[in-house]
Amino acid sequence: MSVQPAPHHPLLVVTDLMGTTLRDEGAVLPAYRAAFAECAIPFTEDELAAKRGAHKLSLFTEFAARRYPSDEAGRRGAAALKVFEKQLRHFLASGGGTPIDGAEAAIARLRQAGIKVALTSGFDRGLIAHIVRHCGWGELFDAVVYPDEVPAGRPAPYLIFQAMQKTRVEPVARVAAIGDTALDLQAGTNAGAGWVIGVLSGAHDAATLGRTPHTHLLASIAALPALLGLG
């Protein structure tokens, strides 16, 4: 479901992490499954697919709450997050977690053109910081937004609003939101972003993203400078 993009270049690009700037390499789904299994939290693959891009602790706790009382659901959600993060840290330590081809060059080109770039994720603060260090991205972004800085993760718009606040950019019509999941696109739409851009380099395919309101679908973030006329 394509909608009309804003007529001017964005002042800020708010990008997702895994599947958008960082290769998934098939690591995330097994990490979810291990966390659900070890903590005895019921789920279905379809339910999980619909939640890709969500804040991970909230996701695990929400799923646990369908079987367990509130306090127990909270404990199991926190335990599941630890399993999930342990799996992904092992993935990184084993040589995984390389940037999407052309992602770093695209971000550098955007910033060279005066467009600010903020990184967001559904991961918790510690894992985001670990990935940024792992990739040597300390200077790549104008801002990094962590889920504990906002009242709710995607599809709520707050990560985008916090990115705007950190980079001192307004209005939201001059913001581009880019990500690989339907929740990324929903967050962009809920924020009122002028560009809501899906990429096919991660969790969701063209059919799934195409059913979600968006302004553009790209093969990857590497194509974003060309879309904006930056070459």
Q: Please tell me the number of Cα atoms within 13 Å of 110 on its side-chain side.
A: 29
Q: Give the DSSP H or E segment for 40.
A: none
Q: Does the pLDDT at position 169 exceed 70? A: yes
Greater confidence (65 vs 9) lies with 65
Q: Does the pLDDT at position 1 exceed 90? A: no
Q: What pLDDT, on the 0 to 100 scale, is given for residue 8? A: 75
Among 1-5, 13-17, 30-34, 162-166, the range scoring the smallest mean pLDDT is 1-5
State the average pLDDT for the chain: 95
**Tokens 């199991």 belong to which residue?**
76
Mean pLDDT (whole number) for 32-59: 96
According to CATH, what is the number of the domain 12-25+98-227? Answer: 3.40.50.1000
Residues 6+ apart with CB under 8 A from 55: 122, 147, 152, 153, 154
3-class secondary-structure state, position 15: strand
Give the confidence band of 175 by pLDDT, cuts at 50, 70, 90.
very high
Domain residue spans of the chain: 12-25+98-227, 28-93
| Helix runs in 100-194, H state only | 103-112, 125-135, 158-167, 182-191
User: Percent helix, strand and coil across the chain, each rounded to 5?
Assistant: 45, 10, 40
